[in-house]
Copies of this chain bind each other. A is one copy, B any other.
Amino acid sequence: MNDEILSRISALETRLQRVEDELAITQMLAAYGPLVDAGEPEPVAALWAEDGSYSVEGWTMLSRTDVHSMVTSDAHQGLISHGSCHFLGPARVKVTGESATAVCPSILVVHHEGRYHAYRAGANHFRLRRGPEGWEISERITLALDGSEEARELFSDSKFSG
């Protein structure tokens, strides 16, 4: 009897861990937009691994420190002081042991002279890994959905599963 019980408990632990991993990553990606619109460099940068990268339309960051600098940059602080909404969609997440991939769409809505405009619609692809203090982004690539093959490729099923 104990063997059956232990095996059912182990199965539950494995399944629940997978659910918790998926939700933890979902929460990280849901945190990015609000934190970057708040303009707070530390909690944004803390989503990335020390050596994590973020490439967005020609702007390439190669470390957590680079992401921190992006948030404090005049360009970003100027954007949020006029009003911006980095709106990421629900993430599709695939956890494979100690690493994970995720994709989601994003819209950057910008406030200008009392009106709001969709400034960019983007494809986002994330690679994450489990670090000693939890999940971290090791790579994020964002490309404008302007018809380019590169942007559509970020959303391909094989890249998500690969």
- A residues sitting closer than 8 Å to B (CB atoms) are 1-2, 5-6, 8-9, 12-13, 15-16, 19-20, 22-23, 26-27, 29-31, 33-35, 37-40, 42-43, 80-93, 103-105, 107, 109, 111, 114, 116-123, 144-148, 151-153, 155-157, 160
> Once the chains bind, are B26 and A87 in contact (CB under 8 Å)?
no
For the complex formed by this chain, how many copies does it contain in all?
3
In this complex, what residue of B is CB-closest to A46? B157
Q: From known contacts A37-B155, A40-B157, A83-B147, infer whether A109 and B104 are also in contact, taking CB-CB under 8 Å.
A: no
- CB < 8 Å neighbour of A145 from B20, B83, B93: B83
Collect the chain B residues with CB atoms within 8 Å of residue A40's CB: 156-157
- Max count, chain B CB within 10 A of own CB: residue among A85, A86, A111, A122: A85
> Once the chains bind, are B9 and A6 in contact (CB under 8 Å)?
no
A38 to B143, alpha carbons, bound, how many Å? Answer: 13
> Once the chains bind, are A145 and B30 in contact (CB under 8 Å)?
no
A12 to B83, alpha carbons, bound, how many Å? Answer: 43
Collect the chain B residues with CB atoms within 8 Å of residue A37's CB: 105, 123, 145, 152, 155
**Can you spell out 10 A-B residue pairs with CB atoms less than 8 angstroms apart?**
A12-B13, A12-B16, A15-B20, A19-B23, A29-B90, A30-B92, A33-B89, A38-B157, A83-B145, A111-B144
Closest chain B CB from A31 CB (angstroms): 5
A153 to B118, alpha carbons, bound, how many Å? Answer: 23
Identify 14 new A-B residue pairs, CB closer than 8 A, beyond the known A30-B89, A90-B90: A1-B2, A23-B23, A33-B89, A34-B105, A37-B123, A37-B145, A38-B155, A42-B157, A81-B147, A84-B145, A88-B89, A90-B91, A107-B107, A116-B121
